[in-house]
Amino acid sequence: RFDIKSPHKQLQVRNLNLTDAGIYTCKYGSHEVRTSLHIFNLNLSSHGLFLQNEAPELILMQNSSGPLPDLSITLFDSNNNRVTAEVQNKNRQKYIVNLKKLEAMDSGTWVCQVHSDSPLINKNISFAVKVLGFQNPDLERKYAAVDSTVILSWHLNSQQIKWKKGFTGQLNWKQQEGANAHELLDFNATALGELNETKKSSNFLFEIPEGKRESTIEVKLPKVHFNHSGQYQCQLKYQGRYAQNKIELVVMKVSANPAGPLSRGANITLTCQVSGLLPPSAYLHWERVNGTEMDKKNSKQQEVKLDVNVSAAGLWSCHLIEDSDRKISLHYLVEEAPVWINYVIIGASIGGSLLAFALGCLCIISGISWQRRRQRAKRMAQARQHLLENRTCQCQQ
């Protein structure tokens, strides 16, 4: 590891170790020059390869021929922002720096700035940090209407940091927290950085889209059902560690009771319903297009179902509003029954009333007639009894 470079007789030392620190003496005749070599060694846990939300540990060691100086350590991330870190001093030879949890955006070249006043040391040591993770928000919420098509996407940064192999992952789905998870697909990275995906579920209707972006995991639900809602969790695994990201799918539907046309003087109940809990800032809103303020109704906070009684035909819309932003809208056309149907209904009502009246009269007449027959039969029975009693008396006389 040691070479003398001509013509200036320079000593070159390759692959420095901590034990190489010390005083180096150059002698030429009666001349003697001494140089002190101070060596730093910086190590990053996990060889600088991290998953999202992992907190790395940095170890800085020093060695010198003289007394070891008390070092001041400052860290800067890949965006040249100063990083708050906890530094532990181990007898001046070993410094342990505990970093915060990393995000995908933290990938890049970091700088460890080492300073000492005596002896004067100002040294910048650069090191690479690779963080494999998701570019999605930590908990993303996606809204969809029943029978619509939905594509759920997770974007990895594996191409940006050139992390080509060694990690695997899977995509799970469960309807609510604490429920059993259903594995939808597995994936792994090839040596070229491409993702191989294997469909796992046999009882769930979804597709794996073609022609998607690199480093992207996607599932396509061509026709969303109301019970397809829930948590879709993508999980990355690397050397026994893992990182995960969730997308919450909320499905909305509208219905009417009764579902038929609205006849004159009748009411229809429209129901707007979502499949899961809403955040505190979200609510449901019914309104009639081109209607009045009387045709509007809001749900209560975090209410997942909203009914509205409709007595006027027209186009009604249900909106899911979150932070004053319409996330999704569904429409229901309340049709007015044709005139002849109204006449039929009116005629049927009148006919029914007349029929009921006639039946009532018939029942009354039948009842009176039956009562009269009963009374007449009773009188005849009494008369026969009276005659029998009279005949008996005459025979005795």
Flag whether pLDDT at 355 surpasses 80: no
CATH number of 258-334: 2.60.40.10
Of residues 307 and 276, which shows the higher confidence score?
Answer: 307
17-56 per-position pLDDT tens digit: 999 999 999 888 889 999 999 999 999 999 899 999 999 9
- The closest of 235, 226, 248 to 152, measured between CA atoms, is 248
Flag whether pLDDT at 397 surpasses 50: no
186-226 per-position pLDDT tens digit: 999 888 878 889 998 777 788 888 877 888 999 999 999 99
Question: Rounded CA gap, 262 and 310, in Å?
Answer: 9
CB 142 within 8 A of CB 150: yes
Question: Rounded CA gap, 75 and 98, in Å?
Answer: 11
As its CATH architecture, domain 140-251 has Sandwich (2.60)
Residues 6+ positions from 45 with CB-CB distance below 8 Å: 56, 57, 58, 59
Q: Do domains 140-251 and 258-334 have the same CATH topology?
A: yes
- The closest of 279, 283, 272, 378 to 326, measured between CA atoms, is 283
The alpha carbon of 126 is separated from its chain's Cα centroid by a whole number of angstroms, namely: 38
**Residue 350: band (very low, low, confident or very high) from pLDDT cuts 50, 70, 90:** low
108-145 per-position pLDDT tens digit: 999 999 999 988 999 999 999 999 999 998 889 999 99
- The closest of 209, 208, 189, 190 to 199, measured between CA atoms, is 208
Mean pLDDT over 290-306 rounds to 87
Name the one residue in this structure whose structure tokens are 């006639």. Answer: 358
Flag whether pLDDT at 392 surpasses 60: no
CATH number of 41-132, picked from 2.102.10.10, 2.60.40.10, 1.10.1750.10, 2.20.25.90: 2.60.40.10
Return the domain boundaries, the chain. Answer: 41-132, 140-251, 258-334
Predicted pLDDT of residue 266 = 81
241-289 per-position pLDDT tens digit: 999 999 999 999 999 998 878 877 788 899 999 998 888 889 999 998 8
Q: What are the strands, taking DSSP E only, across 77-116?
A: 82-83, 86-90, 94-98, 108-116
Helix (H, G, I), strand (E, B) or coil at 254: strand
**Residue 363: band (very low, low, confident or very high) from pLDDT cuts 50, 70, 90:** confident
Predicted pLDDT of residue 349 = 59
Residues 6+ positions from 316 with CB-CB distance below 8 Å: 270, 286, 287, 288, 289, 308, 310, 331, 332, 333, 334
Residues 6+ positions from 373 with CB-CB distance below 8 Å: none
Predicted pLDDT of residue 344 = 47
71-103 per-position pLDDT tens digit: 999 999 999 999 988 888 778 899 999 999 999
Question: Rounded CA gap, 102 and 53, in Å?
Answer: 5
> Burial code of 233-272, b = ≥16 C-beta within 10 A, e = fewer?
bbbbbbeeebbbbbbbbbbbbbebeeeeebbeeeebebbb
CB 140 within 8 A of CB 246: yes
- The closest of 189, 345, 324, 164 to 262, measured between CA atoms, is 345
